[in-house]
Amino acid sequence: MSERWSSRVTRVLAPNPSPLTLEGTNTFVVAEPGAGTVVVIDPGPADDGHALAVVEACGGRGVELVLLTHTHVDHAEGARAFAGRVGAPLAAIAPGWASPGAPDLAAGDPVAAADHCCFQLAADRAVFTGDHVLGRGTTVVEWPGGDMADYLASLELLLDLRPERLYPGHGPLVPDAVARVEGYLAHRRDREAQVLAALAAGDRTPAEIVARVYAEVDLALHPAAELSVRAHLVKLAREGRVTSDPSGERFTLTGDAGRAEPPPAGARPPGA
């Protein structure tokens, strides 16, 4: 299913809906109006019908480059086959993915975290955000690949571009780009405060923290939420605000580790 998002951008929706991919992965065909060639971003899952729909959206124009925002299967599984099919180089920031002769994305693109990068389309005042910022809801920063500090820094970089619109890897076009990114930053700060509050309340393991912080969220999403909580804990540990035991499975607020349990009521000293 393809849809024009601007005079330069066509979105082709992949048939892989799920709680994490929303309606499915967005594959983009990008070209200046009147240009004879296009760039394809995130060919999506290995699905022949989808690949054909993307070729159709190219409208007979040659594909000069295939780009990956990142290498999760829902974006990249079909990428090599698609690039081969259309005879285009494949470029990605993740090592081992780019084909010979493809441009080196690591050199020029500042909006990158882990294996993820975003692509700016200055003519549309737009940024293709992959899984970095979604069309709806919030993204999952997964531990151990996802680093919450990197993620927050990359959102700040995205904000610095002052985009007007975002073309996300899942969900609809985001017309209020700056407000959405600011919302993501605020959401992450809230989550971090909730993780700290859960530790202060006595939770020790990521699962305990998830049970408290994500109590309102569908249980099917709790494993993903746990990876996100771990990403927060790694950031907080690096900042020295949280301490983990040697197993890396139990966490305390730094300074709380040696604190005694409160004494039983009967043992309370007079005047306490």
Which residues are known catalytic residues?
A: 74
CB of 134 to Zn ion, least distance (A): 8
- Quick one: 19 or 62, whose CB is closer to Zn ion? 19
Q: Of all residues in this chain, which one has the CB nearest to Zn ion in the complex? A: 131
d(CA 272, CA 268): 6
Q: To the nearest 5 percent, what fractions of the chain are helix, strand and coil? A: 35, 20, 45
Three-state secondary-structure class, residue 65: strand
Taking CB under 5 A as the binding criterion, the range among 99-107, 157-165, 168-176, 186-194 that sits at the site for Zn ion is 168-176
| Distance in Å, CB of 247 to Zn ion, minimum | 31
Stretch that binds Zn ion, among 60-68, 124-132, 237-245, 247-255 (CB under 5 A): 124-132
Q: Which two tokens stand for residue 84?
A: 């081969």
Work out how close the CB of 177 gets to Zn ion at its nearest, in angstroms, rounded to a whole number. 19
Kindly state whether residue 47 participates in binding Zn ion, applying the rule CB under 5 A.
no
- Residue among 22 and 86 whose Cβ is closer to Zn ion: 22
Nearer to Zn ion, 119 or 251 (CB): 119
Q: How far is the CB of 69 from Zn ion (least distance, A)?
A: 8
Residue 125 near residue 141, CB atoms below 8 Å: no
- Which C-beta is closer to Zn ion: that of 16 or that of 252? 16
Quick one: which of 74, 147, 203, 226 contacts Zn ion (CB under 5 A)? 74
* Spatial CB neighbours of 50, under 8 Å, sequence gap ≥ 6: 12, 14, 15, 27, 43, 44, 78
Whose Cβ is closer to Zn ion: residue 231's or residue 236's? 231
Quick one: which segment of 34-42, 104-112, 113-121, 163-171 binds Zn ion (CB under 5 A)? 163-171
Cβ 110 to Zn ion shortest distance, Å? 21
* 29: enclosing H helix or E strand: strand 26-30
Stretch that binds Zn ion, among 130-138, 160-168, 224-232, 244-252 (CB under 5 A): 130-138
Q: In what order do the strands lie in the sheet with 62-67?
A: 2-4, 9-13, 26-30, 37-41, 62-67, 90-91
Look up residue 244 and give its two tokens: 């983990």
**What are the angstrom distances between the C-alpha of 44 and each of 50, 140, 219, 239?**
8, 18, 27, 36
In single-letter form, the type of residue at position 228 comes to: S
Interacting positions 178-237 with Zn ion (CB under 5 A): none
Single residue of 47, 77, 115, 131 touching Zn ion by CB under 5 A: 131
Cα 80 to Cα 46: distance, rounded to the nearest angstrom: 9
Q: Are 97 and 90 in contact (CB under 8 A)?
A: yes
Q: How many residues line the site for Zn ion (CB under 5 A)?
A: 3
- Where on the chain is the footprint of Zn ion (CB under 5 A)? 74, 131, 169
